[in-house]
């Protein structure tokens, strides 16, 4: 058994290292000789204000390269990101200038004119790639600048531009639609390597049925001193991400951590110490004893019920195990992003997340199995399956709805069947077995009951308390401070994902994540203490929901962000925005809930370990 586990672990490690190595680009892989062919790949097109609503470039009646053009299929994350690279068959050779070349002659009819006009009215943009062997994906919002009736993308390797624009027209209320017919590409190189690619569009021509447009291009090569290692710096919006407000928010969150840890320390060192002294005091005087008994109240009175197994133990064990896995997963991905600069890889973060999730599934099973066993659980098959499949199937349910919408719209956001099979195979043959193995190991290694106090046979009645000490209020209020600690960072993360910016400050994210964990634990411990002091021993689910409610506030913030900070519109983009956000908030809620429960569990065991339990 042990040898099989070791061989499986070794195979899994090799598999992980192999896939991770595909993420990073080697400088030696991208060297050219004069006149070596360079491929210009077309990728996608879509409304600029709707980032997820993207379509195949040739959904618009541009010049098609011919029969069966070459396709460039990237990694798993690239496909899930809605990318489909097709060879444009435009003739480009390394260091060879082209003054003016013809792509094709575009014959316009009523249908084509209507398609182009609709695209221009919806502010359609497109994306090309030169030398996409380097997997990249960058932001365009700050890179696209209008110069003399054209859009210019001053970027490295990707090319962005708009299909056309509306010119003012006295004879039309909507303006005059013009299509850019010339693409001027400037490629900068350092010795034998491509460093920067710039696109300038020109020759805007009015859209009229029956007209023939010459679609042309020009290529100009310029030397540069920028090194290959610095080629991605052009993507990074330093003034935005390293603004003073970003540093100030981290400082504020850090001060919140100091305050909360001080508060928890005060509870542990002063309040509990006084409680211990009161509860441990033995007085032979009958009158004093009767007075103490009559005045005695608080968390000590529920020692016979505080370790009673909670309702829905199977589900609680599953979400706590899944949350522990997600916490480790987020930490691991952030560290890999810091070490390996994953932001330069198109889809690299998604690929890394999926693979790391599969290989950390053991943690989910281990934590869930140990917790379920310690609480006397008996339905082991149900527990194992739920722990292994809870979060993936939640994501699958949301993804299935979004994928159906994408298929209906014919968008590149629709996940191909082959990619679905790959994801399912990763889950079925790596994630699921590891979760089952973790459950078995957790049951046998950490499943022995170790409660400091014995559980009484008859549950103690819970007295009525003030409204603010009820579990629902404690749960709802528990997420406010953790949300406050990540509020500013959520703005930067949302802006990166929904507004075409490259998120690269993973050092900030690591600090904010650690602050979130500490604040969540502290707030949940305080809430658990007040709940137990109110003689309510139903702390398990309350501690989970108290921490998980952070995700509720994040989702409410996403509603504000959608209406105030974006210009998104339409059923497609709205569905994807709130669907993706719901998926993110489910993961965040489970993660925070698990952190809160585990912290409260340690706290409860610690305080009841030092009292006399009858």
> Would residue 219 count as lying in a domain?
yes
Domain shared by 132 and 143, yes or no: yes
Length of the chain: 614
Domain shared by 92 and 167, yes or no: yes
Distance CA 470, CA 480 (A): 17
pTM attached to this predicted model = 0.86
Residue 51 · residue 495 · CB < 8 Å:
no
Residue 186 · residue 198 · CB < 8 Å:
yes
**Which of 450, 483, 508 is the last residue in one of the domains?**
450
Domain shared by 406 and 419, yes or no: yes
Domain shared by 16 and 63, yes or no: no
> Would residue 281 count as lying in a domain?
no
**Which of 235, 260, 288 is the last residue in one of the domains?**
235
Residue 133 · residue 29 · CB < 8 Å:
yes
> Would residue 162 count as lying in a domain?
yes
Strand partners, 159: 128
Domain shared by 319 and 394, yes or no: yes
Distance CA 58, CA 287 (A): 91
Domain span at residue 215 reads 31-235
Chain mean position to CA 551 = 13
List strand residue ranges (DSSP E) for 207-310, in order. Answer: 212-223
CA distances from 438 to 159, 515, 565 (A): 46, 28, 43
Distance CA 31, CA 94 (A): 10
Distance CA 514, CA 9 (A): 29
Distance CA 593, CA 587 (A): 10
Residue 390 · residue 319 · CB < 8 Å:
yes
> Would residue 165 count as lying in a domain?
yes
Residue pointed to by tokens 């798993």 = 76
DSSP H helical ranges for 100-142: 110-121
Residue 86 · residue 71 · CB < 8 Å:
yes
CA distances from 258 to 399, 524, 604 (A): 40, 15, 22
Q: What does R_g of the chain's alpha carbons equal in angstroms?
A: 30
Distance CA 534, CA 463 (A): 8
Q: What are the tens digits of pLDDT across the range 322-337?
A: 999 999 999 999 999 9
DSSP H helical ranges for 375-505: 380-409, 417-426, 432-445, 471-478, 480-498
**Exposure string over 480-508, b if 16+ CB within 10 A, otherwise e:** ebbbbbbbbbbbbbbbbbbbbbbbbbbeb
Contacts of 330 (CB under 8 A, 6+ apart): 513, 591
User: What is the CA angle 345-73-17, rounded to 5?
Assistant: 50
Domain shared by 255 and 344, yes or no: no
**Percent of the chain clearing pLDDT 90 (strictly above):** 54
Decide: helix, strand or coil at residue 81. coil
Decide: helix, strand or coil at residue 298. coil
Q: Roughly what angle, to the nearest 10 degrees, separates helices 539-548 and 571-609?
A: 140
Distance CA 341, CA 250 (A): 22
Domain shared by 56 and 190, yes or no: yes
Tokens of 238: 């330093």
List, as one string, the DSSP characters of 389-407.
Answer: HHHHHHHHHHHHHHHHHHH
Distance CA 221, CA 18 (A): 36
Contacts of 52 (CB under 8 A, 6+ apart): 82, 411, 413, 572, 573, 576, 577, 580
> Would residue 287 count as lying in a domain?
no
Strand partners, 72: 85
Distance CA 384, CA 373 (A): 12
Tokens of 8: 């499986």
Domain shared by 346 and 427, yes or no: yes
Distance CA 589, CA 548 (A): 4
Domain shared by 416 and 529, yes or no: no
Domain shared by 525 and 545, yes or no: yes
pLDDT at residue number 252 = 79
> Would residue 110 count as lying in a domain?
yes
User: What is the CA angle 406-411-412, rounded to 5?
Assistant: 110
Domain shared by 18 and 135, yes or no: no
Domain shared by 251 and 323, yes or no: no
List strand residue ranges (DSSP E) for 448-540, in order. Answer: none
What are the residue ranges in the chain where pLDDT is below 50?
1-28, 132-156, 282-287, 289-295
Decide: helix, strand or coil at residue 209. coil
Domain count, the chain: 3
Distance CA 377, CA 321 (A): 15
Distance CA 92, CA 98 (A): 8
Tokens of 306: 């505080």
pLDDT at residue number 71 = 83
> Would residue 462 count as lying in a domain?
no
**Which of 390, 422, 450 is the last residue in one of the domains?**
450
Classify residue 63 by its DSSP letter. P
Distance CA 539, CA 486 (A): 25
**Exposure string over 401-410, b if 16+ CB within 10 A, otherwise e:** ebbebbeebe
> Would residue 306 count as lying in a domain?
no
CA distances from 356 to 19, 33, 135, 430, 590 (A): 11, 38, 19, 11, 17
Residue 318 · residue 386 · CB < 8 Å:
yes
């Amino acid at each position: 058994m042990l040898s099989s586990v070791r061989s499986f672990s070794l195979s899994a490690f090799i598999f992980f290292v192999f896939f991770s190595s595909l993420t990073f680009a080697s400088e030696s892989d991208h060297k050219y000789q004069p006149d070596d062919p360079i491929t210009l790949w077309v990728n996608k097109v879509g409304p600029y204000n709707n980032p997820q609503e993207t379509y195949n470039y040739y959904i618009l009646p541009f010049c098609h390269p011919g029969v069966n053009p070459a396709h460039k299929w990237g990694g798993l994350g690239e496909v899930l990101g809605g990318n489909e690279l097709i060879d444009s068959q435009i003739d480009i050779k390394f260091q060879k200038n082209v003054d003016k070349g013809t792509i094709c002659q575009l014959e316009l009819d009523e249908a084509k004119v209507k398609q182009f006009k609709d695209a221009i009215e919806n502010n359609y943009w497109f994306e090309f790639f030169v030398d996409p062997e380097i997997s990249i994906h960058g932001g365009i919002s700050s890179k696209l600048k209008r110069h003399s009736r054209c859009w210019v993308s001053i970027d490295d390797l990707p090319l962005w531009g708009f299909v056309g624009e509306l010119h003012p027209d006295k004879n039309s209320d909507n303006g005059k639609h013009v299509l850019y017919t010339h693409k001027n590409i400037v490629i900068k190189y350092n010795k034998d390597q491509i460093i920067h690619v710039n696109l300038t569009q020109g020759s805007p021509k009015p859209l009229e049925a029956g007209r023939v447009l010459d679609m042309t291009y020009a290529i100009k090569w310029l030397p540069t001193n920028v090194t290959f290692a610095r080629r991605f710096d052009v993507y990074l919006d330093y003034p935005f991400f390293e603004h003073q407000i970003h540093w100030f928010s981290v400082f504020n969150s850090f001060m919140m951590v100091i305050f909360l840890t001080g508060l928890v320390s005060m509870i542990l060192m002063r309040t509990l110490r006084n409680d211990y002294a009161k509860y441990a005091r033995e007085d032979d005087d009958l009158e004093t004893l009767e007075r103490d008994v009559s005045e005695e109240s608080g968390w000590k009175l529920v020692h016979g019920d505080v370790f009673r197994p909670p309702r829905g133990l199977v589900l609680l064990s599953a979400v706590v195990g899944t949350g522990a896995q997600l916490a480790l997963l987020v930490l691991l991905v952030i560290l890999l992003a810091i070490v390996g600069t994953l932001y330069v890889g198109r889809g690299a973060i998604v690929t890394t997340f999926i693979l790391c999730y599969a290989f950390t599934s053991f943690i989910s099973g281990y934590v869930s199995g140990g917790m379920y066993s310690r609480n006397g659980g008996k339905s082991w098959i149900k527990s194992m399956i739920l722990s292994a499949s809870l979060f993936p199937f939640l994501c699958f349910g949301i993804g299935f709805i979004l994928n159906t919408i994408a298929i209906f719209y014919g968008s590149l956001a629709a996940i191909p069947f082959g990619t679905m099979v790959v994801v399912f195979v990763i889950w079925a043959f790596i994630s699921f077995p590891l979760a089952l193995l973790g459950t078995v190991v957790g049951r046998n290694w950490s499943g022995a009951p170790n409660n400091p106090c014995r559980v009484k046979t008859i549950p103690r009645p819970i007295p009525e308390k003030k409204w603010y000490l009820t579990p629902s209020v404690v749960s709802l209020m528990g997420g406010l401070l953790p949300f406050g600690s990540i509020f500013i960072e959520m703005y930067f993360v949302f802006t990166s994902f929904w507004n075409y910016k490259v998120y690269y400050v993973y050092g900030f994210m690591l600090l904010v994540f650690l602050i979130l964990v500490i604040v969540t634990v502290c707030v949940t411990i305080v809430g658990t203490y007040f709940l137990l002091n109110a003689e309510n021993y139903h702390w398990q689910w309350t501690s989970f929901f108290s921490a998980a409610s952070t995700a509720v506030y994040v989702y409410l913030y996403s509603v504000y962000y959608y209406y105030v900070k974006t210009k998104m519109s339409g059923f497609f983009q709205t569905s994807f925005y709130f669907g993706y956000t719901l998926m993110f908030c489910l993961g965040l809620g489970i993660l925070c809930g698990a952190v809160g429960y585990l912290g409260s569990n340690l706290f409860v065991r610690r305080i009841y370990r030092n009292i006399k339990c009858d």
